Amino acid sequence: MKAFFPNLRLRCQKSYAFIWNMKESLLACKQAGLQARGTGLKTIVIASQKGGVGKTTLTGHLAVEAERQGIGSVAMIDTDPQGNLSGWFKVREAETPALVRVLPDGLRATLKALDDAGIDLCMIDTPPAITESIASTVAEADLVLIPAKPSPHDLRAVGATVDIVERAKKPMVFVVNQAVARSKLKTDAVRALSQHGPLAPIDIHNRVDFAASMTDGRTAGEIDPKSAAAGEIAELWTYIATRLERVSK
């Protein structure tokens, strides 16, 4: 085992043993030709300068959903000092998707280590800011997901995040979060966002299930797989997976 992962120094925030177990199961899966597809790590950065638009909620939900839909092994990284994703993971019973720390050598080295370990997808949550650090995180993305709430303030704030993504020449996709069905605000949001770039054709609506799941360590889909919230996340991931495939070619 050691020879197979000679440089792996990743540490799962839940337990050191876990990442080791994950390596063993990855190896077993590889040998069986299962789960870990080993097609190379893909990285999705969830970013928005605006606070409270759903970055953390969507990071957790999409990571779990990507794994459920069979992308392979999924890791999450919390780059936000607020630590909301880490807080959610701490109360989570399931050990996957793994939450990993950024190595002292930096994010690029961390992603390389994940790639070497056969991880297929890494979802990175970011703080609500426009900083050098966000720019360098975005620079590592294969795809940047920008959630936006359908409110005039949020829509105005989107430009600063888009600038960072465009400067890094990274593909991006918007998603409307906390949408209220048939409201004029949503129509305005769709119009405003689609002027900047591609917009996911699935809105995530304002649902108590999403808020409740973040205190519970699970996702809305894990709590109730038949819920509307679960359905929206499943459709959103299916769309994002298609985009990811397209930008990776």
Ligand X SMILES: Nc1ncnc2c1ncn2[C@@H]1O[C@H](COP(=O)(O)OP(=O)(O)OP(=O)(O)O)[C@@H](O)[C@H]1O
Site for ligand X in 124-163 (CB under 6 A): 128
**Helices 55-68 & 208-216, crossing angle to 10 degrees?**
80
Token pair in block for residue 137? 């995180």
86 binds, among ligand X, Mg ion, none (CB under 5 to 8 A by kind): none
84 vs 86, beta carbon nearer Mg ion: 84
Token pair in block for residue 195? 């002027």
Measured CA to CA, the distance from residue 37 to residue 39 in angstroms comes to 5
Residue 219 interacting with ligand X (CB under 6 A): no
60 binds, among Mg ion, ligand X, none (CB under 5 to 8 A by kind): none
Measured CA to CA, the distance from residue 242 to residue 42 in angstroms comes to 13
Measured CA to CA, the distance from residue 239 to residue 210 in angstroms comes to 19
The site string for ligand X over 5-34 (x = CB under 6 A, - otherwise) reads ------------------------------
β-pair partners for 147: 175
51 binds, among Mg ion, ligand X, none (CB under 5 to 8 A by kind): ligand X
Q: How far is the CB of 33 from ligand X (least distance, A)?
A: 36
Token pair in block for residue 206? 């304002």
In this structure, the strands spanning 121-125 and 172-179 are unpaired
Q: How far is the CB of 221 from ligand X (least distance, A)?
A: 13
Among the listed residues 160, 207, 217, 223, the single contact to ligand X using CB under 6 A: 207
Q: Residue 140 to residues 47, 134, 198, 222: CA-CA distances in angstroms?
A: 12, 10, 20, 29
Q: How far is the CB of 56 from Mg ion (least distance, A)?
A: 3
Among the listed residues 56, 73, 110, 219, the single contact to Mg ion using CB under 5 A: 56
Among the listed residues 42, 50, 55, 92, the single contact to Mg ion using CB under 5 A: 55
206 binds, among ligand X, Mg ion, none (CB under 5 to 8 A by kind): ligand X
Token pair in block for residue 28? 């077993």
120 vs 209, beta carbon nearer ligand X: 209
Residue 82 interacting with ligand X (CB under 6 A): yes
Cβ-proximal residue to Mg ion, closest one: 56
Measured CA to CA, the distance from residue 127 to residue 168 in angstroms comes to 18
Measured CA to CA, the distance from residue 87 to residue 96 in angstroms comes to 15
By CB under 6 A, name the binding residues for ligand X. 51-57, 80, 82, 84, 128, 177-178, 204, 206-207, 210-211, 214
